[in-house]
Amino acid sequence: MKTKIIVPLVTAAAAALFTGCATDAHYVQTGDREQIVSLGQINIQDYANAANAAVKDLLASGALDRVANPPALVEVSKVINNTSQLVDQDLLTQKIGIALTQSGKAQIKLVDKLSKGYQQENEFMSDQKGTRLPDFTLSGKIIETVDRAGNTRRTTYSFQLALNDPKAGVQVWMSEKEIGKQGTRSSVGF
Amino acid sequence: MKTKYLLPVVCAAAALFAAGCSTPVNSVENAQKDGRRMMVSDQRVISDTGLNHRVGVVGVNTAMTAGGLLRVQVELLNETRSLHRFSYKFEWFDVNGMQVENILSASSTDQIEGRESKMITSIAPNPGCKDFRLKLISAD
């Protein structure tokens, strides 16, 4: 008699449990509780954290405020990739560029061929050198270091960024954000 | 007879476990402070009392940058003896109370040791942002 009641109950509980644990595809937000902590690679959250730290530091430094004609004109230069993976630097520099332009403290200089063509045409037609040279260039480097102890692996990514004054030949601002991840395998959650 | 042996073993294991997780912090600082924090009055909504015990907000102070951006610093305190991981994000609002979203509002993860006091900071996305909200969520 007891078995008659227990079996359906256990079955129902098991079904409920499996339904709760199921991971059907769904939309997620960057930085939410379900983010994947990937051990051996830089993920979107790492880029967001690095960009957040860099923008916070750069705006607080006041380096962009020290130009003759604000807002400062910034040209995004190369971010050297010293990691074992392929890195699209726009994942970092675009986030920084967006935040800087939204702050009203900087404008990002266009460097694509089409824009350069328009600039040259404008200069030729108006017969004057109208192109403003950048006040600063933004450059950087991403470095990966790996430490192992048994099955445990710690990967640290160092995001180094610098704001350079090309006319003076000096770096007016530098920052470094280290993001470390440790474990035996990648996981879901913070 | 079994209980005689079992109880000390379990107690020893529990003590070892607690010692392993316990990471209280000792600290020292100058008593006569030259810097003066401009503390602001704050409104709090506590939904997770456990988190409030582990990552409690001690106070909030602000300052302006030379470029007219509002900087916020929040002092957190872990009242327990164990390390705790948490996630936080600052939300920023303009003079009309409209939220301004960019990378400065992204979630960040952090950790705080037992009995540690820690500062987290943010900066307004533009000079028009004067109000903010900090959201904290447990990551353990």
Percent of chain A whose pLDDT exceeds 70: 87
Contact criterion met (CB < 8 Å) for B106 and A62: no
Contact criterion met (CB < 8 Å) for B106 and A56: no
Query: What is the band of A29 on the pLDDT scale with cuts at 50, 70, 90?
Result: confident
Domain boundaries, chain B: 38-138
Question: What gap in Å lies between CA B102 and CA B132, rounded to an integer?
Answer: 13
Residue with token string 């061929």: A113
Contact criterion met (CB < 8 Å) for B106 and A64: no
Contact criterion met (CB < 8 Å) for A104 and B107: no
Contact criterion met (CB < 8 Å) for A48 and B109: no
Q: CB B43: neighbour CB atoms within 10 A?
A: 5
Query: pLDDT (tens digit, 9 = 90+) per residue, A30-77?
Result: 777 778 888 889 999 999 999 999 999 999 999 999 999 999 999 999
According to the model, what pLDDT value does residue A37 have?
86
According to the model, what pLDDT value does residue A35 have?
80
Contact criterion met (CB < 8 Å) for A31 and B121: no
Which residues of B are less than 8 Å from A95 in CB distance?
Answer: 103
Which residues of A are less than 8 Å from B66 in CB distance?
Answer: 62, 65
Which residues of A are less than 8 Å from B87 in CB distance?
Answer: 31, 33, 190
Q: Which structural domains are found in chain A, ordered by start?
A: 35-188 (3.40.50)
Average pLDDT over chain A reads 87
Contact criterion met (CB < 8 Å) for A65 and B66: yes
List phi, psi (to 5°) of B12. -65, -40
Average pLDDT over chain B reads 89
Average pLDDT on A9-19 reads 60
Q: Is B109 at the interface with chain A, CB within 8 A?
A: yes
CB A41 within 8 A of CB A85: yes
Closest approach of B33 to chain A, Cα-based (Å)? 22
Query: pLDDT (tens digit, 9 = 90+) per residue, A85-98?
Result: 999 999 999 999 99
Which residues of B are less than 8 Å from A55 in CB distance?
Answer: 103-104, 123
What is the value of ipTM here, to two decimals? Answer: 0.83
- Closest residue, chain A, to B123 (C-alpha): A56
* Structure-token pair, residue B136: 């904290």
Query: Across the interface, which of B65, B87, B106 has its CB nearest the CB of A190?
Result: B87
Please give the model's pTM, rounded to 2 decimal places.
Answer: 0.83
CB B114 within 8 A of CB A50: no
Query: What is the band of A188 on the pLDDT scale with cuts at 50, 70, 90?
Result: confident
Query: pLDDT (tens digit, 9 = 90+) per residue, B27-82?
Result: 999 999 999 999 999 999 999 999 999 999 999 999 999 999 999 999 999 999 99
| Residues contacting B18, CB < 8 A, separation 6+ | none
Task: Choose which CATH entry (2.60.40.3230, 1.10.150.120, 1.10.150.80, 3.40.1160.10) describes domain B38-138.
Answer: 2.60.40.3230
List phi, psi (to 5°) of A117. -60, -45
Question: What gap in Å lies between CA A105 and CA A59, rounded to an integer?
Answer: 8
Query: Across the interface, which of A52, A55, A104 has its CB nearest the CB of B108?
Result: A52
Query: Across the interface, which of B66, B100, B139 has its CB nearest the CB of A62?
Result: B66
Contact criterion met (CB < 8 Å) for B65 and A62: yes
Percent of chain A whose pLDDT exceeds 90: 63
Q: Is B137 at the interface with chain A, CB within 8 A?
A: yes
Which residues of A are less than 8 Å from B123 in CB distance?
Answer: 55-56, 59-60
Which residues of B are less than 8 Å from A64 in CB distance?
Answer: 67
Helix or strand (DSSP H, E) at A144: strand A136-149
According to the model, what pLDDT value does residue A72 have?
97
Query: What is the band of A23 on the pLDDT scale with cuts at 50, 70, 90?
Result: confident
Does B23 or A180 have the greater pLDDT score? A180
Contact criterion met (CB < 8 Å) for B102 and A32: no
Does A101 or A17 have the greater pLDDT score? A101
Does A11 or B133 have the greater pLDDT score? B133
